[in-house]
Structure 1
Amino acid sequence: MRQGKVQLKRIENKISRQVTFSKRRSGLLKKAHEISVMCDAEVGLIVFSTKGKLFHYATDSCMDDIIAKYERHCYEENRLKVDSEPPKEKKHAQLPKLVARVELLQRNLKNYAGEDLDPLSLRELQSLQQQLDAALKRIRVKKNQVMHESISQLQKKERLLQQKNNILSVKLKERENEEHTMEENRREDPEILPQTSVAIAAPHPPPELYSSPSFTICGGSQTSADQQSSGVESNAVIPPWLLGHLRNP
């Protein structure tokens, strides 16, 4: 009895759907291996199950190389199409790509902030965690670098302030030593300043008192030889301040 043609539609029974996925997956991977060996072709096959489990197959070259080659090919192909289009059509053709790019970036930002994580599979969550860990590591390295630079600048300012403080301390100590030396000099010779002040303050006697040929002490009768010969008496009186100098020559 021949089997009829299998209708392609979603299998409603969960167990049957899982069994069919396992069988068809094995056959698909086998066919990919056969075509790569028989035709010497580079084959990259990626399959995600409904639960997010990854199944993949790649030829001798790495899967990353195959994907990079695919992206380069698609990029060159799209660039040729865009270059061949008129300028207006180029702008209209780039608009959906830019919108899709913006939506992708916004979705990535939400994922980085911990939002809209339900649609992500286990592998995508692991990739997101690795990206966040790497970003956090770079942030910590930069933070430590900034902290070290700030500490180095503060230490440099501290050294400059310490040098200024030392200079001021030396100047203050020298000034205190000078004042102390002057004070000791005053204590050792206290009569220098009063004698100097008396010598400066004492007025000089009038010149005529020294040149007078005769004088009388306190109104006495003592006269010089010239006064006796000439018969002239002098009534000049010695001032008190000069009298003190005459008594204590």
Structure 2
Amino acid sequence: MVRGKIEIKRIEDMTSRQVTFSKRRKGLLKKAHELSVLCDAQVAAIVFSQTGRLYDFASSDMQKMIDRCEIHRGEYFGAERLQKQQYVRELKNEMAIMMDKIEILQLHCRKLMGQDLDSCSVEELKEITTKIEKSLTIVRSRKAKLNEDNIEKLKAEIVAEREGLNERSRLRQMFQEQPLWMQSRSLESEKNAHSCSSGNMDLSDVETDLSIGFPQNRV
């Protein structure tokens, strides 16, 4: 008959719990003894019951095995502690190096601004002068490029304005070269349009005439 799978959880019944503890304790200590014999291993097991009663097994002296366990625990946690300390030291060293670099860069920037130059040697001053001249060259080049762009933009605006003036002048000249009768017709059309828009003229009073050919004098 196949045994059912037992759910691992706290046994609520006190009697059942004590019976299970007794059986499993004996089985655990038996397995520890078998492991020590079969594998020639040093095995120790310590069990406290719910009431605080001690049950133990040791393949050799229990105290010696506990001392040995403490030594191994110290070595393990000691190595871990040393590793953490080493990591902290490395971080501190990296932080110190970064702070030194930042300080050097800040001092270099102050020197480029003309500050803290008393401690500079002749060679350092030459180096600073070279860097400043190089920076000025780059700035002047950028400024010249911007000026060229502005000049080209102004030239384009002037050309566009000149073309507009030429177009207006051409239209004015064309109007002046028109025959007098076309100019009078244009003026008359403008007057009529002005009168219509102002609302002072009755549309029924407007006389229209259609003619083909040259205009003739009206009676």
Report which structure shows greater RCO (CA 8 Å, sep ≥6). Answer: 1
TM-score grouping bracket, smaller chain normalisation:
0.3 to 0.5
TM-score (norm 1): 0.37
Larger Rg: 1
TM-score normalised over the length of structure 2: 0.41
